């Protein structure tokens, strides 16, 4: 007869529960007599526990989901998002093992999984707000995107197998969060929850809420997001979902994963670099240091677009399996669509992180409100252009030029 365990039924664990859980359920530590556990999560949704054996210093991470969001949003969430995340990481690992952490176990009942401790890495957003940049980032993140996205499209995958995968990765609750928070609320304020500086209220109202042509383009992007099952996306590929150090990076947190447009992931990466740029622009006092940091972010954006395009086309030409997809010229047409979605997503993500209910540290930590408002205007104006004229953005240079154009106009205003 098997004994019962208090972990046979779901409950939200605290640090002490996690120690007991690890002792009972996880075959990882040789010695469990001196375990220490700390909750280290800083995201909006989940709890992240680091468990260390004080005798050997061996450590592991346990990620655990609650039934509500951590950030106050009044939203009830599905516990199986943990399962989605775990399965997606395992699939991404199949395509790009070096840039995804190792998963040790998954527990459906307790909605948690154990993974490799990345204590020698930092969350990229935390590093960026300390003005740290990483030369390898563009190369590694484009490898991650091309190697995990293209193999899950109909270009490479058997079409029946792909449809099966689409079915297995339907993620309605988390997709709904993005549909509202990214595509809808920032441009309508329909829940009246947007967070806007007093000095920015008129500007936001005029520039975002009262522009019907902008709403139409956001609607097109939203319907593309909901209906274009192009590839298995990470779904929330911002700099808080990336662990990084001097040598490489690991992509975490794909709980928003589903089959959607590739440009959504690429656009998220670029937008979050622009948010880091905004932080540096507003907070670095020394002129040389500021221009060095901004140049390095700008170069990174240019490199990401260039490298993404060349790696994408190379892999497409070598590995496409669909007979018609191999036709000369189809690859460039396909990439053009991805770049158009990328531009739209850069705009959406920048704008929603400024006026929406899920702001980011890059912007909130700009203490001087006047400077914060100025940089917000720059990003909103550039973001709007990325959405409205998305078919025009095919190089990283063009993105940077648009940002600089609005930087000039706002500073001269």
Contact footprint for ligand SR1 (CB under 6 A): 43-45, 69, 71, 73, 75, 177-178, 181, 236, 358
Residue closer to Mg ion, measured from CB, 77 or 278: 77
Where residue 57 falls (left for φ over 0; alpha for ψ -120 to 50; beta otherwise) is left
Nearer to ligand SR1, 259 or 312 (CB): 259
Which listed option, Mg ion, ligand SR1, none, makes contact with residue 410 (CB within 5 to 8 Å by class)? none
Number of separate helices (H) and strands (E) present in the chain: 15, 10
For residue 124, the tally of other CB atoms under 10 A from its CB is 26
Given a contact cutoff of 8 angstroms between Cβ atoms, the answer to whether 307 and 270 are in contact is: no
CB of 236 to Mg ion, least distance (A): 5
Which entry of ligand SR1, Mg ion, none binds 107, CB below 5 to 8 A by partner kind? none
From the list 23-31, 82-90, 117-125, 249-257, the region that binds Mg ion by CB under 5 A is 249-257
Which of these, 272, 265, 232, lies nearest to 339 by C-alpha position? 265
Nearer to ligand SR1, 151 or 267 (CB): 267
Q: Which is nearer to ligand SR1, 363 or 373 (CB)?
A: 363
Query: What is the nearest approach in angstroms of Mg ion to the Cβ of residue 267?
Result: 17
Cα–Cα distances in angstroms (integers) from residue 24 to residues 6, 34, 37, in the given order: 10, 14, 15
- When binding is defined by CB under 5 A, the residue of 107, 253, 331, 385 that contacts Mg ion is 253
Phi, psi of 42 (to 5 degrees): -135, 15
Of 29 and 47, CB closest to ligand SR1 = 47
Token output for 36: 């220490």
Min separation Cβ 253 and ligand SR1, Å: 7
Query: Is 101 an interacting residue with respect to Mg ion (CB under 5 A)?
Result: no
Q: Strand runs (DSSP E) across 179-248, as ranges?
A: 231-232, 242-244
- Nearer Cβ to Mg ion (71/295): 71
What's the min distance (Å) between Cβ of 273 and ligand SR1? Answer: 16
Q: Which does 73 bind (CB under 5 to 8 A by kind): ligand SR1, Mg ion, none?
A: ligand SR1
In angstroms, what is the minimal distance from the CB of 121 to ligand SR1? 18
| Residue 269, CA distances (Å) to 215, 251, 289, 394 in order | 23, 12, 23, 16
295's contact among Mg ion, ligand SR1, none, with CB below 5 to 8 A by partner kind, is: none
**What dihedral do alpha carbons 276, 282, 288, 292 form, nearest 10°?**
10
In this complex, which beta carbon is closest to Mg ion, that of residue 236 or of residue 331?
236
Closer CB to Mg ion, 8 or 42, in the complex: 42
Q: 181 touches which of Mg ion, ligand SR1, none (CB within 5 to 8 A by kind)?
A: ligand SR1
The CA-atom distances, in angstroms, between 143 and each of 100, 127, 251 are 12, 21, 12
- Minimum CB separation from ligand SR1 for residue 236, in Å? 5
Q: What is the closest distance, in whole angstroms, from the C-beta atom of residue 332 to ligand SR1 in the complex?
A: 31
**Nearest distance in Å: CB 73, ligand SR1:** 4
Q: Report which secondary-structure segment, H or E, holds 49.
A: strand 46-53
3-state secondary structure of 112: strand
Q: Kindly calculate the radius of gyration of the chain based on its CA atoms and give it in whole angstroms.
A: 22
Query: How many C-beta atoms surround the C-beta of residue 321 within 10 A?
Result: 12
List of residues contacting Mg ion (CB under 5 A): 43, 253
């Amino acid at each position: 007869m098997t004994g019962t365990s208090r972990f046979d039924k779901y409950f939200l664990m605290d640090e002490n529960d996690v120690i007991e859980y690890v002792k009972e359920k996880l075959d990882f530590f040789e010695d469990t007599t001196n375990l220490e556990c700390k909750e280290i999560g800083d995201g909006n949704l989940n709890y992240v526990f680091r468990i260390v054996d004080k005798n050997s210093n061996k450590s592991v991470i346990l990620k655990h989901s609650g039934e509500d969001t951590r950030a106050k949003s009044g939203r009830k969430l599905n516990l199986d998002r943990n399962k989605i995340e775990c399965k997606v990481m395992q699939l991404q690992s199949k395509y790009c093992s070096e840039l995804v952490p190792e998963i040790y176990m998954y527990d459906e009942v307790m909605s948690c999984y154990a993974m490799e401790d990345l204590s020698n890495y930092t969350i990229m957003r935390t590093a960026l707000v300390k003005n740290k940049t990483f030369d390898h980032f563009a190369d590694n993140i484009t490898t991650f995107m091309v190697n995990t996205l293209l193999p899950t499209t109909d270009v490479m995958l058997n079409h029946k197998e792909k449809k099966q995968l689409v079915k297995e990765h339907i993620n309605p609750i988390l997709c709904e969060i993005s549909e509202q928070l990214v595509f809808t609320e920032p441009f309508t304020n329909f829940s009246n929850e947007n967070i806007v500086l007093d000095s920015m209220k008129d500007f936001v109202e005029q520039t975002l809420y009262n522009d019907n042509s902008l709403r139409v383009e956001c609607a097109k992007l939203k319907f593309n997001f909901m209906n274009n099952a192009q590839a298995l996306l990470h779904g929330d590929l911002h700099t808080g979902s990336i662990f990084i150090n001097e040598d490489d990076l690991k992509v975490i947190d794909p709980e928003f994963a589903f089959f959607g447009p590739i440009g959504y992931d690429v656009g998220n990466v670029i937008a979050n670099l622009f948010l880091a740029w905004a932080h540096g622009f507003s907070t670095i006092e020394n002129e040389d240091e500021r221009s060095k940091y901004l140049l390095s972010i700008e170069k990174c954006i240019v490199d990401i677009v260039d490298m993404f395009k060349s790696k994408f086309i190379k892999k497409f030409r070598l590995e496409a399996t669909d007979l018609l997809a191999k036709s000369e010229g189809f690859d460039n047409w396909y990439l053009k669509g991805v770049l158009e979605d990328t531009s739209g997503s850069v705009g959406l993500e920048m704008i929603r992180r400024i006026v929406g209910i899920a702001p980011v540290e890059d912007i909130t930590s700009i203490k001087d409100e006047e400077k914060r408002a100025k940089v917000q205007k720059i990003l909103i104006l550039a973001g709007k252009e990325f959405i409205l004229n998305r078919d025009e953005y095919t190089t990283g240079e063009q993105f940077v030029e648009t940002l600089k154009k609005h930087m000039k106009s706002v500073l001269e205003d």
